[in-house]
Structure 1
Amino acid sequence: MGNTGDTAFGRLLSAAVSGLMILAVAACGSNGKAPQARAEEPAGMKPAGTARPLTAREKSLLYDAEQAMVQSCMARKGFQVWKVPENPVPEDRSFPYVVDDVAWAQRHGYGSDVLRRIAQVRRTDPNRRYLQSLPPQRRTQAVDAYSGRTGGLEVRLPTGAIAGRSTDGCLAETEGELYGGLGKWFRAKAVTNSLASIRRADVLADPKFRESTREWAVCMRRHGHRYTAPSQARAAFASDRAKDHKEEVRTAVDEARCAHSSGLSATAQRLDAGYDQRLQKQYRAAVDSRLQLERAALPRARAFLPGR
């Protein structure tokens, strides 16, 4: 669904103030306060069905508008915010099932160097340094100005969990203004953001995926690796920092090559697409509601960002 739901400042803010974990900076996270009302249900909204998905450029426009609007709101409240690049570590990749990009594995192994780069970006982020420079009371005020202090919205996710968030603060103000109503936007975003984790769990539990994984493990044994699942290989290098980077790269490259020769990569992609289609259909109201709200937000984003 893209990056239009959570601002990068919000993600870095949560890392910067680890002692203040009451923030509602994640679309599907709790704000730590008792909710007072349910988010509006998009009842009666006819699914678009044939609506064109947003392009990468349109998603970036919404991301930039959110950043700029939050920045403006925080300035009105007496705080500074620096815009954060949409993709500050371009080499960061997600492989939810198996590393299957040989070229990427040859450069990064399982991504230990990428994780160090991400940590470096967080350490040097001006928003983080700014917040840490503030006196404790002022820092709390900045957090409240961004994420709000009160409860207000909650929605039950397809997983059964309850997501809640504040209705005040600059993030709520920005999303409400940009998307034409905070309640409908929060519900659509929270539900659709939760579908990825459901899809991944379905793929991993599918008998076809498990059968392909066994074939992958046979291939890995031929290369001297005793792992029975890709998650084991990744965990082994994530948990042992003393492992040699060359060994990490060699193992990841073998994993990627075995992913293709065993058919695991193709199986995972096919299953992922199938479960995605099923979930998109099952939660069509939320999917279409989000798309409609995003498309309606594009003119507002352009109006806030002259020249875009």
Structure 2
Amino acid sequence: MQRHDPGRATAAALAAFLLLGGCGSATGTPAGPAPEATAGPAAAAAPAAPPAPAREPSPADTRLLERAEQILISRCMDGRGFPYAVTEAPDDTARSFPYGVDDIEWARAHGYGGRDQRAAAQAREADPNQRYFRGLSASGRAAARTALMGSTPVGLSATAPTGMTITASAEGCIADAERTLYGDLATWFRVKVVTMNLGPVREARVHEDGQYAQAVGQWAACMRAAGRPYANPDASRQAAARFGESMPPAEADAAEAELAVVEATCAAGTPLARVSQALDHTYGERLRAQHQEEIALRWRLQNGALPKARQVSEKHSSEQHDTAPNSRPSGGSHA
């Protein structure tokens, strides 16, 4: 599947679930309904007004939907003989810098995020579902994957804006949970694939833009003057990643932060930060306009699923309260 395919080895079979677990927000708003027609025969013959603009789900709404999906998956897996812990997604405070780090203070504190990534990896290692799947035999893992994801990734198919066709199973506990929440599973899969992949397309278009290339050239000149002869931000990031191969973690983190600060200083001191942000906005608006129907439909499906999600979550909380001593621990990932 596409670029957010986490969960190798045991969790490789969960990659489709993990890919589709994230929610890409969009800020575009579809056009509003047409003015009401006046009463009379002409009005009766007029076409129906389009539906009201969809409301973008709030972060709290999104968390509720994710939690309800986890609960439904857990119930389904329990019914098929596999324990599955309902885990809480960690607070995602990580920042993404697809065009080069341009925040000097963030760079000073986080470098390129290497320390944060190690902490996230440790959280995944401690996740109860990860531990359970790792402890199964090969045949047990295969059976659990089938219960979770279906036997083969067929039944659902959608073409992402990247041009890649993404498929998944219409069977298994993931599909059952999403069908329960959203009703039309095929439609939900399609709009989720499309909207989740708008970000990669936007970033690719910025990287291909001549204005970005020109700004990177000016940034590279600044880096050379600072004794860091890297042709582009990807090259400096790759250099930072190699620090850990020859240094203890603390030294690698310090060296990474030092390089990231130089990169951010050059990004802020040349047109790179300004140009990349402007291009990101421009291409983002174009993509949102191009895919406004899919965005609006996704929001409608999510909003329509909220009552069911509240019901599922409240029932689960009540059951957990009644059996608190035996409740399962929370973890940081789905697999």
Two-structure CA RMSD over aligned residues (Å)? 2.5
Q: Deviations over 1:111-153 (max 9, x none)?
A: 2212221221222221111112223222211111111114212
**Cα distance in 2 between the residues matched to 1:204 and 1:176:** 37
What is residue 264 of structure 2 aligned with on the other side? Answer: 256
Aligned residue for 1:87, secondary structure, equals: coil
What secondary structure, in the 3-state scheme, does the structure 2 residue paired with 1:305 have? Answer: helix
Q: Secondary structure at the match of 1:155?
A: strand
1:292 aligns with 2:300: yes
What does 1:112-191 align with in structure 2 at a 5 Å threshold? Answer: 112-150=114-152, 151-191=154-194
Q: How has the CA–CA distance of structure 1 residues 28 and 56 changed in structure 2, closer, same or farther, with 3 Å as cutoff? A: closer
Question: 1:9-48 maps to which residues of 2 (within 5 A)?
Answer: 14-15=7-8, 17=10, 21=13, 24-27=16-19
Residue 233 (structure 1) aligned to one of 230, 233, 236: 236
1:196–1:236 distance in 2 versus 1, CA, 3 Å: same
- 2:10 alignment partner AA: V
CA distance in 2 between counterparts of 1:117 and 1:125 reads: 12
How far apart, in 2, do the equivalents of 1:164 and 1:16 lie? 20
Query: Structure 2 unaligned runs (5+)?
Result: 22-48, 318-335
Partner secondary structure for residue 157 of structure 2 = strand
> Which of 189, 192, 195 is the aligned partner of 2:198?
195
Q: 1:277 offset after TM fit, Å?
A: 0.9
Task: Spell out structure 1 runs of 4+ moving beyond 3 A.
Answer: 20-24, 26-29, 46-50
List gaps (5 residues or longer) in structure 1.
1-9, 30-45
Any idea what SS the aligned residue of 2:276 has?
Answer: helix
% identity of equivalent residues: 36
Alpha-carbon displacement from aligned partner over 1:184-224 (angstroms, at most 9, x marks no partner): 00010111112111110000111111122122222222322
Task: Call closer, same or farther: CA 1:48–1:98 in 2, change over 3 Å.
Answer: farther
2:101–2:267 CA contact under 8 A, matched in 1: yes
The TM-score, its normalising length taken from structure 1, stands at: 0.83
The count of residues paired between Structure 1 and Structure 2 equals 280
Q: Secondary structure, in 3 states, of the residue corresponding to 1:164? A: strand
Cα distance per residue 1:155-188 (max 9 Å; x no partner) = 2222222111101101000111111211100010
Whole-angstrom CA distance in 1 between matches of 2:163 and 2:206: 19
Give the deviation of 1:84 after TM superposition. Answer: 2.8
* Structure 2 residue aligned with 1:68: 71
Partner of 2:223: 220
Q: Mean Cα displacement is larger for which, 133-142 or 195-204?
A: 133-142
One-letter amino acid of the counterpart of residue 157, structure 1: A
Query: Corresponding residue for 1:7?
Result: none
CA gap of 1:200–1:71, structure 2 versus 1, over 3 A, is same
Cα offset for 1:27? 4.5
Match of 1:274 among 272, 276, 282: 282
TM-score normalised to structure 2 length: 0.76
Instruction: Give, as a single letter, the amino acid of the residue that structure 2 aligns with 1:15.
Output: R
* CA distance in structure 2 between the partners assigned to 1:234 and 1:132 by the alignment: 32
The answer to whether structure 1 residue 242 and structure 2 residue 246 are counterparts is yes
Select which of 97, 108, 111 maps to 1:109.
111
Q: Distance in 1 between matches of 2:232 and 2:62?
A: 35
- Partner amino acid, structure 2, of 1:265: A
C-alpha contact (below 8 Å) 1:147/1:171 kept by paired residues: yes
**Which residue does 2:209 correspond to in 1?**
206
Post-superposition CA distance 1:34-88 (Å, at most 9, x none): xxxxxxxxxxxx9868433221111111111111111111111121112333226
Looking at structure 1, the residues matched to 50 and 223 of structure 2 have their Cα atoms a distance apart, in angstroms, of 46
Change (3 A) 1:74 1:21: closer
Q: What is residue 56 of structure 1 aligned with on the other side?
A: 59
